[in-house]
Amino acid sequence: MKLTFVKMHGLGNDFVVLDGIRQSIALTPAQLRLLADRHFGVGCDQILLVEEARQPDVDFRYRIFNADGSEVEQCGNGARCFVRFVHEQGLSAKSEIRVETLCGVIVPRLEDDGTVSVDMGVPVLAPARIPFLSASDDLVQTLRIADHEIAITAVGMGNPHAVQLVDDVATAAVEHEGPLIERHPCFPQRVNAGFMQVVDRQAIRLRVFERGAGETLACGTGACAAVVAGISRGLLDSPVRVETRGGMLNIAWNGLGTPVLMTGPAVTVFKGEIEV
Ligand SMILES: N[C@H](CCC[C@H](N)C(=O)O)C(=O)O
């Protein structure tokens, strides 16, 4: 199958973006993994597939696939790149776009200054809905990984996140603990593992070992989940500046039952075509 694609990134979390409206696209997990392969394919953390809307009050559908070929519910950095993509491709001139994802409708908005803000929906802390197999609803839970225990807060942003506090993200055991947390049996659909350093009440540093992709330079839903965890634990006040290895995101949340608002950049790098 010959595909035209656009390579994009949100703070270095990079994507192959496909127009599934003007191209007929049906990719197997193996083809998705090839696209994402940084040696044998284009290379990316996730593939984003833009499709026609399937419900009346929505402009588009957007599907998200991790580099391992798994389809997932949500991608924050991807949502910002999605709205820049549909504008640059002439698929829409709306500044605010309603887009359906596997976990519901989100509303990214292209701002006048070129940044993109996204209503990421209402976060979930109830373990069963994350899903997180837990004996309690406590905000901080102990997880045993290999030879030690860690304290995590599980947050659902459509996709699952396990956020832990660290003293310094630069020395956090992301490479060692990330894969162990990702595949912990308490997370039946696996999980994204966040490592959060609190700088002050309105600033954190964050690294995320992503489900299905490994550590990325930034994770939009991970930033949302970390801020929700920090505010819920009384450690942060909204809005919060989230410093990732790829740059800065701004996250605002007014508490339980309200949506998380994320603002950050979206960049088009190059266009291309590939046979998969
Ligand atoms: N790895 C994530 C999907 C991509 C999320 C991330 N790239 C973002 O910006 O939110 C998962 O399996 O839930």
Domain ranges, ordered by start, for the chain: 2-116+265-275, 127-258
> Considering the chain, what is the average pLDDT of its residues?
97
Class of domain 2-116+265-275: alpha beta
Q: Which residue has the least CA distance to atom 3 on ligand 1?
A: 75
State the Cα angle at 267 between 272 and 175, rounded to 5°.
Answer: 95
The answer to whether the beta carbons of residues 244 and 204 sit under 8 Å apart is no
The CA distance from 54 to 189, in Å, is 25
pLDDT above 90 (res 1): no
* Nearest ligand 1 atom to alpha carbon 161: 13
pLDDT single digits (tens) 163-178: 999 999 999 999 999 9
The mean per-residue pLDDT over the stretch 64-77 comes to 98
pLDDT, residue 146, reads 87
The CA distance from 63 to 168, in Å, is 34
d(CA 15, ligand 1 centre) in Å? 11
The CA distance from 33 to 47, in Å, is 9
Percent of the chain at pLDDT > 70 equals 100
DSSP 65: E
CB contact burial 61-91 (16+ within 10 A = b; e otherwise): bbbbbbbebbebbbbbbbbbbbbbbbbebeb
The CA distance from 54 to 135, in Å, is 38
- Among all residues, which ones are annotated catalytic? 75, 219
Which bin fits 146, alpha (ψ -120 to 50), beta or left (φ > 0)?
Answer: left
The CB of 210 under 6 Å from ligand 1? The reply is: yes
78: its two tokens = 């991807």
Ligand-binding annotation for 177, yes or no, is no
Best residue among 16, 48, 66 to mutate for probing ligand 1, ranked by most atoms within 8 Å of CB: 66
Q: Can you tell me the ipTM of this complex?
A: 0.97
CATH classification of 127-258 is 3.10.310.10, yes or no? yes
Beta strand spans in 157-259 (E): 160-165, 192-200, 203-210, 214-216, 240-244, 247-253
- Asked if domains 2-116+265-275 and 127-258 share a fold, the reply is yes
Residues across the chain: 276
The CB of 219 under 6 Å from ligand 1? The reply is: yes
The CB of 153 under 6 Å from ligand 1? The reply is: no
pTM value surpassing 0.95? yes
* Nearest ligand 1 atom to alpha carbon 45: 7
d(CA 237, ligand 1 centre) in Å? 24
pLDDT single digits (tens) 117-143: 999 999 999 999 999 999 899 999 999
